[in-house]
Homo-oligomer: A and B are copies of this chain.
Amino acid sequence: MRSPAEATPGLVYVPDLQSAGATVTLSAPESHYVGRVCRARAGDRVTATDGRGRIANLRIAGVGARVSARVEVVDERERARRAWVLGGAPEGRRADWLVEKLAELGVERWQPLECERAGWGHQAGRAARWRRIAIAAMKQSRAAFLLEIADPLPLAQALRQLPTGATRWLARRDGAALPGAPVSGLSVAAVGPAAGFVSDEERAMVAEGFVPVRLAESRLRAETAALAWAAWWAGGAGQPSA
């Protein structure tokens, strides 16, 4: 007999989740997790998300090298509030945990910025590593949305890609006090690299409607500032739904 823990897989990531009635094949790591770690068998149910708002109940059809499953019910969710974080490079590998925390807090997009005082350079495997971290955080949070991870862009280019109408915030030690967090729409934060933005960069952002805000009394590291902003945003989620 299997213990209940073995029989209850957590949220499974299925990027190509289809409509009810379809059969899907889980990826190799998810198949391993469901079939070997959780020891699920044909007939068992698992919950899956496509990372784009869909949550589905799956009924396992077959367990082998790849697990196949039938989509039973699909529920589609929309984001009522969205957040993007544009950030310069922090020191060392500190961006790894930043990606994890942004994903947990429900940020929609992480846009690394190539800045005057720091670039992201080329690091083999970084994009794949960040994606694995973001997927793990989504599953951990039982969330229906996967953090989008953009390739690093020069600031000017990143600014051009911002949708109009988004509220825009610039993390700055001498900025204004934070207001209440927005309860809807798209909010965008820009956070400098470890050594900070240069004045020209800040001017360009202020010209594009970014409001300088102060996140704490003390000087924050780059990744802490990004995280503090995301936590402020996440705290504006409004009344609990559960």
A residues bordering B, Cβ < 8 Å? Answer: 97, 101, 104-106, 140-143, 173-178, 180, 214-221, 224, 227-228, 231-232, 234-242
Contact = CB atoms under 8 A, between A and B. Distances in A.
B227 A101 contact: yes
Contacts of A227: 101, 227, 231
A10 to B, nearest CB: 11
B141 A220 contact: yes
Nearest to A232: B235
Count of identical protomers in the assembly: 2
Contacts of A240: 173-177, 214
B216 A106 contact: yes
Contact of A217 (B214, B228, B237): B237
Nearest to A103: B218
A143 B218 CA distance: 6
Contact of A237 (B177, B234, B238): B177
Nearest to A237: B217
B219 A141 contact: yes
A239 B176 CA distance: 6
Nearest to A233: B216
Nearest to A91: B140
A220 B176 contact: no
Contacts of A217: 106, 234, 237, 241
A216 B234 contact: yes
Contacts of A239: 176-177
Contacts of A101: 224, 227
Nearest to A224: B104
Given A228-B235, A231-B227, A234-B228, A218 B177 contact: no
Given A140-B221, A240-B176, A240-B177, A216 B235 contact: yes
Given A231-B231, A231-B232, A235-B232, A218 B104 contact: yes
A31 B209 CA distance: 46
Given A104-B221, A105-B220, A242-B174, A214 B237 contact: yes
A101 B97 CA distance: 12
A180 B214 CA distance: 15
A154 to B, nearest CB: 27
Contact of A235 (B105, B143, B173, B178): B178
Contact of A105 (B97, B141, B224, B241): B224
